[in-house]
């Protein structure tokens, strides 16, 4: 089934506008302007609204990633926002302004956090084991843990794991297993150990480095990573979620991979695109996904 996923109404987050390769967002009480390469259209709001942003990110000359924030007086470098859903999921996130334009949260993942929370509760295992790979600041980890899972959170960047721990503590949750590891090596070891998980979550970047300089290249390693993860998935009781943010990676690539690697698990798979809609009702694409459960 091909689907388009977007966030439900969320008091502490809003995509106000997009266009001219930028997006204008509200996180709690602060409005941020930052680059967005897929916003190729004209903005909906007048320039005066964009100029009211509390912080604006500008890329360094010659860099596609690094840059700096220009802050207005009173703009905090760190702050918290809340997240609460009718199904009972309640979390709190610490946000901050990084030199890579990120703030520590990808709000478009809201429908997947809900899916993870709901599917964890549906597992037959008394305490489902969930593995979150390339886990970043842990929103998906906390959704699974809040639903009662035994969660292993793995990211290769120590500082990111500290950030995720802060989110856990702010959310009033505990008991997560934190690993600063190379995902590729860890999954290989888990397969050899014969371990099984009732939930697998993958958010692989296009390119990355492990804690000891190990190289991750999405197009070179995704196929083999998914084959290894198949060996970790409990065949009788499971859910699976993967997101790809790399521009140019069609959802059909995920459909082909999951369809060939995970039969019969993936027969009822849901694939598609994740997007946010702004006040002008433009749909800003922010990645592809595939998920399934039994």
Which residues contact residue 258 at a Cβ distance below 8 angstroms, ignoring those fewer than 6 apart?
A: 226, 242, 266, 269, 271, 290, 292
d(CA 22, CA 106): 16
Quote the strand ranges of the chain, DSSP E: 2-5, 13-19, 22-27, 30-35, 55-59, 67-71, 78-84, 90-96, 129-133, 150-155, 177-180, 199-202, 207-209, 215-217, 239-244, 270-277, 283-293
pLDDT at 248: 75
Bridge-based pairing state of the strands 283-293 and 270-277: antiparallel
d(CA 243, CA 273): 9
Select 105-293's CATH number: 3.40.605.10, 3.40.630.30, 3.40.50.150, 3.20.20.240: 3.40.50.150
SS3 164: helix
d(CA 75, CA 55): 7
State the angle between helix axes of 158-170 and 139-146 in degrees (0 to 180), rounded to the nearest 10.
Answer: 40
Measured CA to CA in angstroms, residue 281 lies from 13, 18, 275 at distances of: 16, 10, 11
What is the secondary structure of 167-214 as a DSSP string? HHHHTT---PEEEE--HHHHHHHHHHHT--BSEEEE---SEEE-TTS-
Question: Would you state the structure tokens that stand for residue 135, as one six-digit string?
Answer: 């886990």
pLDDT at 228: 97
Question: Would you state the structure tokens that stand for residue 68, as one six-digit string?
Answer: 């700096």
pLDDT tens digit at each of 294 positions of the chain: 899 999 999 999 999 999 999 999 999 999 999 999 999 999 999 999 999 999 999 988 777 678 899 999 999 999 999 999 998 999 999 999 998 899 999 999 999 999 999 999 999 999 999 999 999 999 999 999 999 999 999 999 999 999 999 999 999 999 999 999 999 999 999 999 999 999 999 999 887 888 888 887 888 999 999 999 999 999 999 999 999 987 678 999 999 999 999 988 878 899 999 999 999 999 999 999 999 999
Closest to 283 in 3D by CA, of 291, 293, 272, 294: 272
What residue ranges do the domains of the chain occupy? 105-293
Residue 160, H or E segment: helix 158-170
């Amino acid at each position: 089934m091909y689907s388009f996923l977007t966030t439900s109404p969320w008091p502490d987050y809003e995509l106000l506008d997009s266009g001219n390769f930028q997006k204008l967002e509200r996180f709690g009480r602060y409005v941020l302007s930052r680059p967005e390469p897929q916003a190729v259209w004209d903005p909906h709001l007048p320039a005066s609204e964009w100029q009211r942003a509390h912080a604006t990110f500008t890329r360094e000359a010659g860099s596609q990633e690094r840059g700096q924030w220009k802050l207005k007086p009173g703009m905090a470098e760190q702050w918290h926002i809340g997240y609460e859903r009718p199904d009972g999921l309640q979390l709190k996130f610490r946000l901050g302004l990084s030199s890579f334009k990120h703030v520590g949260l990808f709000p478009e993942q809201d429908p997947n956090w809900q899916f993870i929370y709901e599917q964890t509760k549906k597992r037959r295992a008394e305490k489902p084991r969930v593995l979150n790979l390339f886990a970043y600041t842990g929103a998906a980890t906390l959704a699974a843990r809040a639903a009662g899972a035994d969660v292993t959170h793995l990211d290769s960047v120590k500082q990111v794991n500290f950030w995720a721990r802060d989110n856990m503590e702010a959310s009033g949750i505990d008991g997560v297993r934190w690993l600063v590891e190379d995902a590729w090596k860890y999954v290989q070891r888990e397969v050899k150990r014969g371990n099984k998980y009732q939930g697998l979550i993958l958010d692989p970047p296009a390119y990355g480095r492990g804690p000891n300089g190990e190289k991750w290249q999405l197009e070179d390693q995704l196929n083999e990573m998914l084959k290894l993860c198949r060996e970790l998935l409990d065949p009788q009781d499971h859910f699976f979620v993967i997101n790809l943010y790399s521009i140019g990676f069609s959802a059909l690539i995920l459909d082909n991979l999951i369809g060939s690697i995970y039969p019969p698990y993936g027969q009822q798979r849901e694939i598609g695109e994740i997007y946010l809609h702004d006040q002008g009702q433009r749909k800003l694409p922010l990645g592809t996904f595939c998920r399934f459960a039994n």
